[in-house]
Amino acid sequence: MFEIRVHGRGGQGVVTATEMLSVAAFEEGRHAQAFPSFGSERTGAPVVAFCRISDREIRLREPIMKPDALIIQDPTLLHQIDVFAGLKSDGYVLLNSRHSLEELGLSELITHFDATRFCTLSATDLGLKHIGRPIPNMPLIAGFAALSGLIQLESVILAINEKFKGKVAQGNIAAATEAYNLVKDMMCTPFASSPLKGENHA
Amino acid sequence: MLKQTEGSKAVAEAIALCRPEVICAYPISPQTHIVEALGEMVKAGNLTPCEFINVESEFAAMSVAIGASAAGARSYTATASQGLLFMVEAVYNAAGLGLPIVMTVANRAIGAPINIWNDHSDSLSQRDSGWMQLFAETNQEAVDLHIQAFRLAEELSMPIMVCMDGFILTHAFERIDIPEQNQVDSYLPPFDPRQVLDPAEPVSIGAMVGPEAFMEVKYLAHAKQMQAIERIPVLAAEFKQIFGRDSGGLIRTYCSEDAETMVIAMGSVLGTIKDTVDEMRAEGHKIGVLGIISYRPFPLEQVRAALSSCKRFVVLEKSLAVGMGGIVATDVRMAVTGSGLKGYTAIAGLGGRPITRATLHKLFLQAEQELLPPVTFVDLDWEAVNKQLTREQQTRRSGPAAENMLHDKGLISAKFG
């Protein structure tokens, strides 16, 4: 089982991000479960949503406390809540920011993790460029696909086409594709194998 | 068709497949997505003939459902929490009149303190209303139970609540097999009402009944639920024949054959419990699970049989009988009367408090060693509770308890004024 936690603020499409991740994983024949943190969400307030992906039926209903991956949609959350809480030592982190991890003051933190699995992506700019709105969620999902190798870009595009139509779908696909390629280029080491491989499933 | 979709959307699709003729509902979290989706289907002309009636309250929602059902229309509504409480008088009337309304309860806590999150307090408060109550473990089961519910309700001419955990199920995206229309049509015949308001053959429904006949009418409701005990497994078996999967029934067991400790629960928490039991089985613990799907009618004999070979049991429930302990646990203990089994009650997850594997693992180990008190409040912050109790002992004007608790837990930074 691979567990993803998405942090963001109300209005940034945090819940939608996990739902789309789950649809992309489903398109690849996997079991997936996406659910929000069930707050009474308001625009701008911190929001958390979760996604589990597995090759078996997912029965577990607890919140994700030890994530395999974090997607952080708003870097200002770093000063407000402990977004890294419970992150596994070999966990992936994709952070929406124009700045590098060093510039964000995360150099010390990274030493406790596998630095090659940490990445920043200017996802809000990609949203503005391709969709015309500062919505970072689709570029981040595609960036996560590139970073983790867990899902394919094609599955993200399928999920986008299922959710959106016409120009909105086209814009999201363009943003996702650019994000995917940017992250692939940034990665020092390509991850050939999926993180789910090695699980012993019937 | 297999889909990755939200529980609420899937339930709305299942309701539409059941061809309801009147849907009347008032929105309340976490039920909202279900009735929104149904409203959209009716408006788009994708669900005909069906009237979606906007009402001004939950009391009106149930009253309209009663009227529609009495006029011979297949009627559906959905609610949660305070909404269910607001319609209570009409809820009892629907059952007393024997009208086969199906209602989704997106289970949510009851205030005060106001809380939108999940527990089972709302539908369990209607335990004695005469409605049947079926609890879904997964969104797939929520879909399937609604289809079975219309069939059962109309066969017996009694209303049913299909209970699904608010947010945990209603707002979760997961893999769900949405049945085909022809499958549902072959399972669920058109509504053939036992009583109908027909100008050609006038009857009155809802007569006043005095002491000479009241008990008999009330007993009929009990008799119907006893019939349901027989019919629910039959309808689940017929469902399997057409839809190809096990869904519904009275109870469901897991790893129970050689279990010395049995855990009993209802709803989505059964998934987390099963994962915990797998962990403990791997460590050599003889532990199993009994899921109760039909809370009303309560399957006393089946529960007793499922617990007949264990040594002890824990009822983990998302509800609290204030001043007593467990609600579900009381029924389970009734089922095993005279067996000498050791029973424990664990109150957990009230107001949406997460129920984790780590907590359950610890709890079940204590149960196995018979170290639990009769009633356990799982993950209760005793320090916070005792601080407030001490405050109340020391100060007459100790203030509002909920606000004090939030303040003590650092959730509110400062008092106003």
**pLDDT digits over B49-108, tens only?**
999 999 999 999 999 999 999 999 999 999 999 999 999 999 999 999 999 999 999 999
Q: Could you report the per-residue pLDDT of B326-360, keeping only the tens digit for each?
A: 999 999 999 999 999 999 999 999 999 999 999 99
The nearest CA of chain B is from the CA of A14 a distance in Å of 13
Please give the pLDDT value at position B102: 98
| B152-to-B139, B235, B351 alpha-carbon distances in Å | 20, 8, 31
The amino acid at residue B152 is: L
Tokens, residue B389: 């109790």
Backbone CA torsion sign across B378, B384, B388, B389:
positive
Q: In angstroms, rounded to a whole number, what is the distance separating the alpha carbons of residues B328 and B326?
A: 6
Closest Cα in chain A, distance from residue B169 (Å): 9
Preceding amide of B297 cis, omega within 30? yes
CB contact under 8 A, B171 and A59: no
- Mean pLDDT for B211-231 is 97
Cβ-Cβ contacts under 8 Å, A19 against chain B: 6, 173
pLDDT in tens, A111-133: 999 999 999 999 999 999 999 99
Residue A67, min C-alpha distance to chain B (Å): 15
In 3D space, the residue among B104, B99, B83, B86 whose CA is nearest the CA of residue B38 turns out to be B104
Q: What is the dihedral of CA A178, A182, A185, A188, to 10 degrees?
A: -150
The distance of B96 to chain A (nearest Cα, Å) reads 36
Antiparallel, parallel or unpaired: β A31-36 and A46-54: antiparallel
A1 and chain B: CB distance < 8 Å anywhere? no
Q: Is B272 on the interface with A (CB under 8 A)?
A: yes
Are B167 and A31 inside 8 Å of each other by CB? no
Q: Can you give the pLDDT at residue A199?
A: 52
Nearest CA to CA, how far is A101 from chain B (Å)? 31
Q: Quick count: other Cβ atoms within 10 Å of Cβ B184?
A: 19
CA-to-CA distance for A35 and A19, rounded, in angstroms?
Answer: 7
End-to-end Cα spacing for chain B: 58
Tell which of A38, A40, A162 to mutate to test the B interface (max B CBs under 10 Å). Answer: A38
Provide, as residue numbers in chain B, all residues whose Cβ is less than 8 Å from the Cβ of A59.
138, 270-272, 274-275
A36 touches chain B (CB under 8 A): yes
- CB-CB neighbors (< 8 A) of A40 in chain B: 29, 116
Determine the average pLDDT of the residues in B380-389: 96
Measured between CB atoms, does B65 come within 8 Å of chain A? Answer: no
| pLDDT attached to residue A43 | 83
Terminal CA-CA length for chain A: 13
B11: phi then psi, degrees, rounded to nearest 5: -65, -40
The predicted structure's pLDDT at residue A188? 56
Statement: residue B414 has pLDDT above 80: no
State the pLDDT confidence band at B412, using cuts at 50, 70 and 90: low
Q: Which 3 state secondary structure label does DSSP give B304?
A: helix
pLDDT at res. B306: 98
H helices present in B157-299, as ranges: 181-187, 214-243, 269-282
Chain B interface includes A62 (CB < 8 A): yes
B102-107 vs A118-121, strand pairing mode: unpaired
Cβ–Cβ contact A16 with B under 8 A:
no
Q: Which residue has the tokens 């299922």?
A: A162
Q: Please name the residue that has the structure tokens 């009857």.
A: B203
Q: Domain coordinates of chain A in residue numbers?
A: 2-186
Tell which of B8, B118, B175, B353 to mutate to test the A interface (max A CBs under 10 Å). B175
Closest residue by Cα to residue A14 from A57, A42, B41, A115: A42
Partner-chain contact B167 A35, CB within 8 Å: yes
Best CATH choice for the domain A2-186 from the list 1.10.357.10, 3.40.920.10, 3.30.2320.50, 3.30.1360.120: 3.40.920.10
Helix/strand/coil for A11 = coil
CB under 8 Å to B241, separation ≥6 — which residues? none
Give chain A's residues under pLDDT 70.
38-41, 188-202
Q: Is B210 helix (H, G, I), strand (E, B) or coil?
A: coil
CB-based contact (8 Å) between A22 and chain B? yes
Which pLDDT score is estimated for B271? 98
pLDDT of residue A37: 87
Q: What is the ipTM of this complex?
A: 0.94
Flag whether residue B229 sits within 8 Å of chain A, measured between CB atoms: no
Positive or negative, the Cα torsion across A95, A97, A103, A104?
negative
pLDDT (average), residues B241-260: 98
**Which structure tokens are listed for B4?**
């990755």
Q: What domains sit in chain B, N to C, each tagged with a CATH number?
A: 2-243 (3.40.50.970), 257-377 (3.40.50.920), 391-416 (no CATH)
Instruction: Report chain B's C-alpha Rg in angstroms.
Output: 22
Query: What was the pLDDT predicted at A189?
Result: 47
- Give the predicted TM-score (pTM) of the model: 0.95
> Contact at 8 Å (CB) between B134 and B105?
no
What number of CA atoms fall less than 13 Å from residue B405's CA on the CB side? 12
